[in-house]
Amino acid sequence: MNLKLSHIAELIGAKLIGNGEVTIKGVNALDSAKVGQITYIATNKYQNSLSQSKASAVILSAELSALCPTNALVVSNPYLAFAKLTHHFKQYSSVCSDNSLAVIEPSAKLNNAKISPGCFIGKNVCVGENTIIGPNCVIEDNVQIGANSHLFANIVIHKDCQLGHSCVISSGVVIGSEGFGNARDNDKIWQTIAHIGKVVIGNNVTIGANTTIDRGTIDDTEIHNGVRLDNLIHIAHNVIIGENTAIAAKTGIAGSTTLGKRCMIGGMVGIVGHITIADDVIVNATSTVDKNITKAGMYTGFFPLMTHKGWKKVGMWLIKLDKIAKVLNIKLRDIKK
């Protein structure tokens, strides 16, 4: 992809300082960018790298524009502008749309979607226009996929699930897998609960590689518009994730938990089942969330593993530490008097 700098300025809403006729052939990091490439700088921390950059153009803030040794694209949020621009230079794998190389049930409605070799498309599947389905994907019966979505290789979407428009699903994702629901009988033998709900995913959702989303037991598992899921996340049955929430890798969310809108969940967070997390909550990496979070804010919670009996004792004292400190302060004042 080759773009003139003047056109890039229009794409990201930037003020151009320099030669708009310069041709940009790719993007690169600030330290590595060469002639013909564009880069960005987000903070003052990298001023030295900016002054030495060999890039043909730099996306930056007005504050740093005077230090730029080359063509500058001035924006209020350089990181966001660069994020938007990267999509114009991204190279996707070639996709063969020869449907003869895929197994497609006659009742499927593909609407000119591009279906790669090795795919299986089940009965009554509906795929929107301009959607790309990569090699070896399995799309089971009654699945609905919106327009302008991109499914990479080796994805499984189980029966009845729904995927909105403009979604990006990375390789190895499984949507609509059986949930982990079991009941133990009088002989303490596990009896599996059939999950007859589905997974409903909104628009403009991205799901990272090897993430799994279980179908609902009776009600549906819901992933709302604009959600961003990293790689290797597990979302259990009946979980609801609110709009524009982002979740980092290796997080696990147990069943029937609801996350609010615009939350940010760090990597390796464990969230127990049947709780509710409010809008605009940030949970730091490796935390364990074991109760409702009712107010927006940043939360951290982790502790060394111990016996449950020991943890109950420790937890009791932790809860009382504030009161203990107040009592000690009062006694210290009395002693000093």
Rounded-to-integer distance, Cα 155 and Cα 113, Å? 16
Cβ 203 vs Cβ 224: under 8 Å: no
Active site residue: 195, 234, 237, 308, which one? 237
Residue 105, number of CB atoms within 10 A of its CB:
13
Query: Which residue do the tokens 């960005």 mark?
Result: 40
For the question of residue 237 being annotated catalytic, the response is yes
CA-CA distance, 328 to 149, in Å (whole number)?
62
Kindly tell me the sign of the dihedral angle through the C-alpha atoms of 65, 70, 75, 79. negative
Residues involved in catalysis? 237
